[in-house]
């Protein structure tokens, strides 16, 4: 009994303790269970969101969630160099946003982590320096902060961070816009419509990712400040983020005597006084698979060939010449021990990873717009000049251009081109040349406008010479087809070579491996020696394209041979023959539209012959020369060549009435005779040569002087008057121009405004708008489209005005690398006005002696000139 009571009491007293113990055990169990169910992380919450689309890659992963783009960056890639590029994939207006084109150079950037933020830096790759100056360079040339992104989450093992980059790809980001702000002479203002930037597909690969977006812009177009149009533009753009190689290509220091596109650098070194500016050559990373075999003289394949993909949108008949234009360059690579460097493939149909707008793929793209051209831009690793990506853009109307070229330049000798449409074999060989020129650009070669001047004109009539060398040592010249060859010159080649001597030389300099573990500077010395060996040989001479200052008559576009007058004589004979047969050769042209285009092209070709010769007058040959090797950096065109050229042009102008062939032009719409318009335009240029002659004579030991120039002008223009002949319409145009310019110059001597000078702008060597159009200096075709308006602007502001505006607004031509010859101011030694005043007096005396005996029409003309002269005296 007692034991039971005691036991019961014990249970009563112990009960709270037991209950407490049981509660504690339950609590411990719950805590353990809660610990086993880990708390959901920010990363997991983000990845669980509905509708997530993910593209995972070794480099970056992309997550598209609720219309936003999240980038997952492995931290190991922080600090690595990247390129971000934007390519237009689709467009509602390919003149404004061109399919396949990268409007702006890719961004060179890095991601860096700073606390809870990822910063996107613009990399300053231009500045380099000695090892001992690293601290100073780091402090003074730091990379700029471009964008910053709050870290949204870390992955579960904290090796990657996730952040929102949506705005960069759907916002109005200037650096990635598909619309150019300037398009030749047009200013284009574009603004993304609010809410009209939308993400599309995302992809991820081993070393890059791509983000597609649809963008709609409001745009307006202005022409010299005047609004001429507006509208909406919708584009699909592909942005690539590409990881640049950690092991950089060994760069190659450029030599200004070889025409190569460049990547500019600056070097701070104690080995030289001051900061050193130099440039690296742009080139593909081309390395032999077997270096020992290459050194033994065997042909070897590259580690990585240069692969080109041919757009599936091309007309089927164009694809074969496109492939040939790529493979042609293997000839040059085989000369330096490589085989199968250039590869041409169709767009793959069974490769889900292929995307022509990805920066990893180099493509030849078809742009169906009415531009008569093609172009071949490339994009590089800014650290080394390694070409990462290239594109050849082929515009639809390039076919129209080659049709015109082949007819106007070769119909005198080639019956195949005497029709409205070229046969396929001619189309193929012509297209292959055009496209091979553009492929040359993508390999790093600039234009070499001096090349064709290396060949004697008469050699271009030789079958043996032209079949061996073609029409020029370089297809990177604008030497087209053989307009020198005459009817009866059997077997003469009419087209440029497949590969010129200079082209092979440039490819050797760019891509030939240099054995041994030599430094960049040591290799530069070897490469310099290769160029030294060819110095003074005109076949290997490089002549810069002269866009803003056209000094050198031996480095012009659209010319052939070493003598402009002789080549012009041959060319003019052919033009006369072609014009005589134009109606009979071109059938099925009831509206005459095709004949009108060919006739206009024929007149332009004649105009080029005159301007080619006229560039000799006051001309100066310019050559990049290294001290101690053959050649002269600058040399005035010989006196006899200048004088012969001026007289030849004046004679041609006075005898150019053959252009007005009535059985051809009478079928065209109403217009002023072409010969008269030509006399007026070229005639104006005759009176704009004085300052060029002044500079040329200043640097010459046997000068063609201002006195010689004005005497020859007077004798040529007033020959009919002096000999008492009836004046032609052309005579009257030239004589009026002579009086106008003499009055303007004489007014300056007398401190009077006089008449309006034909040369207002101080741009004596700048091209006129007509020259820009005639020589293809504006690849967009806008100059041709607005030619009448631009001529009016030049009339108001002076020759060179449009070129000056283009220089400020839009880079065209190969001008940004080695630079160009700037205008030399000769005002301190200019006596042109005095010579003009003397000439004006001679004109006045001549007219007074001749007017009494002149016929009625000529007498009125002379009286009007005398009234102009008398008016300037008051």
SS3 138: helix
Domain ranges, residue 197:
45-244
Residues 234 and 554: their CA atoms lie apart, in Å, by 45
HSE at residue 472, side-chain half, CA atoms within 13 A, is 32
User: How deeply is 621 buried, as exposed, middle or buried, from its count of CB atoms within 10 A (0-12, 13-18, 19+)?
Assistant: buried
- Residue 173's Cα: distance from chain center in Å? 24
Q: Are residues 159 and 294 in the same domain?
A: no
Integer distance in angstroms from the first to the last C-alpha of the chain? 154
Res. 24 pLDDT band, cuts 50 70 90? low
If asked whether residues 120 and 164 sit together in one domain, one would say: yes
Determine contact, residues 592/663, Cβ cutoff 8 Å: no
Q: What pLDDT is attached to residue 405? A: 96
The C-alpha atoms of residue 820 and residue 649 are separated, in whole angstroms, by 27
Residues in Cβ contact with 180 at an 8 Å cutoff, skipping those fewer than 6 apart:
96, 103, 188
| In a shared domain, residues 57 and 118 | yes
Is 1 a residue whose pLDDT tops 90?
A: no
User: In the listed set 394, 413, 439, which residue is the last one of a domain according to the structure?
Assistant: 394
Domain co-membership, 151 together with 240: yes
- Based on the structure, what is the number of domains in the chain? 3
Return the number of other C-beta atoms located less than 10 Å from residue 448's C-beta.
Answer: 30
Q: For the range 313-316, what are the long-range contacts, defined as Cβ-Cβ under 8 Å and sequence gap of 24 or more?
A: 313/365, 313/366, 313/368, 314/364, 314/366, 314/394, 315/366
| Per-residue model confidence as pLDDT tens digits over 353-365 | 899 999 999 999 9
Q: pLDDT value at position 225?
A: 83
User: What's the sign of the alpha-carbon dihedral 64, 66, 68, 74?
Assistant: negative
CB 225 within 8 A of CB 72: no
Instruction: Please compute the mean of the pLDDT values over residues 294-318 and round it to a whole number.
Output: 96
My answer on whether 72 and 192 are in the same domain is: yes
Q: Which residues pair with 302 in a beta bridge?
A: 288
At which of 359, 394, 429 does a domain end? 394
> Three-state SS for 856?
helix
Sort 496 into a burial class: Cβ within 10 Å, 0-12 / 13-18 / 19+: buried
Phi-psi region of 794 (alpha: psi -120 to 50; beta: other; left: phi over 0): alpha
List the one residue out of 94, 331, 28, 62 whose CA is nearest residue 203. 62
Would you say residue 37 has pLDDT above 70? no
Kindly compute the dihedral angle of the four CA atoms of residues 493, 494, 497, 501, in this order, to the nearest 10 degrees. Answer: 80
Full 3-state SS string of 503-514: HHHHHHHHHCCC
What integer pLDDT is reported at residue 98 of this predicted model? 92
Query: Per-residue pLDDT for 25 more than 70?
Result: no
Could you tell me the CA-to-CA distances from 279 to 253, 266, 284, 818 in Å, in that order?
6, 8, 16, 9
Contact (CB, 8 A) for 185 and 72: no
Residue 710 has, within 13 A of its CA and on its CB side, a CA count of 22
Per-residue pLDDT averaged across 48-74, rounded?
96
Residue 487: C-alpha distances to residues 308, 572, 573 (Å): 40, 13, 10
Greater model confidence, 31 or 807:
807
Same domain, 85 and 202: yes
For residue 760, tell me if it sits in a domain.
no
Is residue 583, in this structure, part of any structural domain at all?
A: no
CB distance 457 to 562 below 8 Å: yes
What is each CA distance from 700 to 190, 298, 618, 621, 631, in whole angstroms?
52, 51, 11, 12, 16
Mean pLDDT of the chain: 90
Q: What is the structure's pLDDT at 761? A: 42
**How does residue 16 score in pLDDT terms, banded at 50, 70 and 90?**
very low
Question: What is the pTM assigned to this prediction?
Answer: 0.91
131 and 102 Cβ atoms separated by less than 8 Å = no
403 falls within a domain: no
Work out the burial of residue 343: count CB atoms within 10 Å of its CB; fewer than 13 is exposed, 13-18 middle, 19 or more buried.
middle
In a shared domain, residues 128 and 153: yes
The mean pLDDT of 743-751, rounded to a whole number, is 65
Q: According to the model, what pLDDT value does residue 742 have?
A: 86
Same domain, 167 and 118: yes
List, as one string, the DSSP characters of 99-113.
TT--SSPPEEEEEEE
SS3 599: helix
- Kindly state whether residues 33 and 89 are assigned to the same domain: no
CA dihedral 106, 111, 112, 116 (to 10 degrees): 130
3-state secondary structure of 593: helix
Please identify, among 394, 425, 443, the residue that sits at the C-terminal boundary of a domain.
Answer: 394
Q: Compute the distance between CA of residue 76 and CA of residue 230 in angstroms, rounded to an integer.
A: 47
pLDDT at res. 181: 85
Q: Are residues 50 and 6 in the same domain?
A: no
Residue 499 lies inside a defined structural domain of this protein: no
| pLDDT, tens only, 527-580 | 999 999 999 999 999 999 988 789 999 999 999 999 999 999 999 999 999 999
DSSP 311-349: -TTS-HHHHHHHHHHHHTTHHHHHTTTB-S-EEEEEPPS
For residues 798-822, average pLDDT: 69
Tens of pLDDT, residues 66-120 = 999 999 999 999 999 999 999 999 999 998 999 999 999 999 999 999 999 999 9
**What distance in Å separates the CA atoms of residue 622 and residue 551, rounded to the nearest whole number?**
8
Asked, for residue 453, whether it belongs to a domain, the answer is: no
Pairing of strands 342-346, 306-310: parallel
- The burial of 618, by beta-carbon neighbours within 10 Å (0-12 exposed, 13-18 middle, 19 or more buried), is given as buried
Q: What is the dihedral of CA 40, 42, 43, 48, to 10 degrees?
A: 70
Query: Using an 8 Å Cβ cutoff, are 595 and 582 in contact?
Result: yes
pLDDT exceeds cutoff 80 at 452: yes
CB 865 within 8 A of CB 736: yes
- Burial level of 374, CB count in 10 A (0-12/13-18/19+)? buried
For residue 7, is pLDDT > 90? Answer: no
| 63 lies in the same domain as 101 | yes
Closest-CA residue to 258 (of 53, 543, 678): 543
Q: What is the pLDDT of residues 260-278, one digit of tens each?
A: 999 999 988 888 888 888 9
pLDDT tens digits, 683-732? 999 998 999 999 999 999 999 999 999 999 999 999 999 999 999 988 99
- The neighbouring-strand residues paired with 309 are 345, 363
Tell whether 289 is covered by a domain: yes
Q: Which residues contact 351 (CB under 8 A, 6 or more apart)?
A: none
**626 within a domain of the structure (yes/no):** no
Sign of the C-alpha dihedral computed for residues 588, 594, 598 and 603 taken in this order: positive
* 92 and 233 inside one domain: yes
765 and 692 in contact (C-beta within 8 Å)? Answer: yes
CB 678 within 8 A of CB 659: yes
**Three-class secondary structure assignment of 686-707:** HCCCHHHHHHHHHCCCCCCCHH
pLDDT digits (tens, 9 = 90+) for 130-183: 888 889 988 999 999 999 999 999 999 999 999 999 999 999 999 999 998 888
**Per-residue pLDDT reduced to its tens digit, 609-647:** 999 999 999 999 999 999 999 989 999 999 999 999 999
Least confident range of 28-37, 506-515, 754-763? 754-763
More confident residue, 68 or 184: 68
Residue 856 is assigned to a structural domain of this protein: no
Distance CA 279, CA 299 (A): 31
């Amino acid at each position: 009994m007692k034991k039971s009571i005691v036991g019961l009491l014990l249970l009563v007293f112990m009960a709270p303790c037991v209950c407490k113990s049981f509660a504690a055990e339950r609590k411990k169990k719950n805590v353990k269970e809660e610990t086993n169910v880990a708390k959901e992380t920010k990363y997991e919450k983000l990845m669980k969101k509905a509708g997530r689309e993910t593209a995972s890659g070794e480099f970056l992963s992309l997550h598209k969630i609720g219309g936003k783009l999240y980038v997952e960056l492995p931290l190991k890639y922080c600090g690595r160099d990247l390129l971000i590029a934007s390519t237009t994939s689709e467009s509602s207006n390919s003149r404004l946003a061109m399919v396949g084109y990268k409007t702006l150079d890719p961004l060179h950037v890095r991601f860096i982590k700073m606390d809870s933020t990822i910063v996107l830096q613009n990399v300053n790759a231009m500045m380099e320096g000695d090892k001992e100056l690293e601290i100073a360079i780091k402090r003074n040339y730091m990379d700029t902060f471009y964008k910053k992104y709050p870290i949204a989450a870390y992955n579960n093992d904290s090796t990657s961070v996730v952040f929102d980059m949506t705005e960069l790809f759907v916002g109005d980001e200037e650096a990635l816009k598909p619309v150019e702000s300037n398009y030749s002479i047009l200013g284009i203002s574009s603004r993304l419509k609010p809410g009209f930037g939308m993400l599309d597909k995302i992809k991820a690969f081993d070393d890059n990712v791509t983000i597609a977006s649809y963008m709609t812009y409001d745009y307006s177009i202005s022409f010299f400040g005047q609004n001429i149009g507006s509208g909406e533009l919708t584009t699909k753009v592909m942005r690539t983020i590409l990881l640049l190689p950690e092991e950089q290509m060994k760069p190659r220091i450029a030599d200004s005597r070889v025409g190569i596109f460049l990547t500019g650098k600056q070097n701070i070194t104690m080995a030289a006084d001051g900061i050193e500016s130099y440039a690296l050559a742009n080139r593909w990373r081309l390395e032999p698979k077997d270096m020992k075999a290459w050194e033994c003289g065997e042909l070897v394949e590259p580690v990585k060939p240069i692969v080109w993909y041919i757009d599936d949108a091309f007309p089927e008949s164009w694809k074969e010449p496109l492939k040939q234009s790529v493979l042609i360059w293997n000839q040059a690579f085989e000369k330096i021990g490589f085989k199968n460097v250039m590869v041409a493939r169709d767009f793959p149909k069974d490769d889900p990873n292929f995307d022509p707008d990805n920066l990893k793929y180099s493509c030849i793209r078809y742009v169906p717009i009415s531009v008569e051209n093609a172009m071949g831009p490339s994009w590089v690793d800014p650290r080394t000049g390694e070409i990462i990506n290239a594109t050849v853009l082929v515009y639809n109307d390039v076919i129209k251009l080659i049709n015109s070229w082949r007819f106007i330049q070769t119909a005198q000798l080639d019956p195949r081109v005497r029709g409205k449409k070229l046969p396929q074999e001619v189309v193929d060989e012509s297209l292959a040349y055009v496209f091979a020129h553009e492929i040359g650009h993508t390999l790093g070669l600039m234009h070499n406008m001096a090349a064709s001047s290396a060949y004697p004109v008469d050699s271009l009539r030789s079958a043996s010479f032209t079949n061996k060398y073609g029409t020029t040592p370089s297809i990177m010249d604008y030497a087209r087809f053989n307009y020198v060859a005459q009817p009866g010159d059997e077997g003469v080649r009419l087209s440029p070579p497949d590969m010129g001597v200079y082209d092979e030389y440039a490819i050797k300099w760019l891509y030939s491996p240099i054995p041994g573990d030599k430094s960049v500077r040591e290799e530069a010395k070897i490469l310099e020696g290769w160029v030294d060996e060819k110095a003074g040989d005109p076949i290997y001479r490089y002549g810069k394209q002269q866009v803003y200052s056209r000094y050198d008559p031996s480095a012009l576009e659209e010319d052939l041979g070493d003598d402009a007058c002789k080549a012009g004589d041959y060319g003019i004979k052919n033009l006369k023959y072609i014009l005589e047969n134009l109606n009979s050769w071109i059938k099925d042209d009831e509206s005459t539209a095709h004949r009108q285009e060919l006739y206009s092209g024929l007149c332009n070709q004649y105009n080029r012959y005159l301007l080619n010769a006229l560039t000799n007058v006051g001309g100066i040959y310019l050559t990049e020369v290294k001290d101690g090797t053959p050649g002269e950096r600058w040399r005035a065109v010989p006196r006899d060549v200048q004088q012969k050229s001026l007289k030849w042009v004046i004679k041609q102008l006075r005898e150019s009435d053959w252009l007005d062939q009535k059985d051809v032009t009478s079928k065209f719409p109403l217009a002023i005779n072409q010969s008269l318009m030509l006399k007026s335009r070229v005639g104006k240029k005759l009176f704009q040569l004085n300052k060029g002659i002044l500079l040329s004579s200043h640097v010459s030991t046997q000068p063609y002087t201002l006195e010689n120039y004005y005497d020859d002008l007077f004798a040529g223009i007033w020959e009919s008057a002096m000999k008492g002949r009836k004046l032609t319409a052309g005579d009257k145009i030239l004589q009026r121009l002579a009086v106008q310019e003499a009055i303007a110059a004489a007014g300056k001597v007398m401190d009077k405004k006089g008449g309006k000078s034909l040369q207002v702008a101080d741009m004596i060597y700048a091209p006129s708008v007509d020259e820009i159009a005639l020589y293809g200096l504006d690849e967009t075709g806008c100059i041709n489209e607005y030619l009448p308006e631009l001529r009016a602007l030049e009339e108001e502001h002076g020759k060179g005005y449009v070129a000056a505006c283009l220089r400020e607004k839009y880079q065209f031509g190969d001008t940004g690398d080695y630079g160009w010859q700037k205008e030399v101011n000769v005002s301190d030694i200019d006596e042109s006005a005095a010579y003009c005043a003397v000439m004006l007096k001679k004109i006045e005396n001549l007219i007074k002696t001749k007017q009494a005996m002149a016929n009625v029409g000529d007498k009125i003309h002379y009286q009007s000139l005398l009234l102009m002269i008398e008016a300037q005296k008051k």
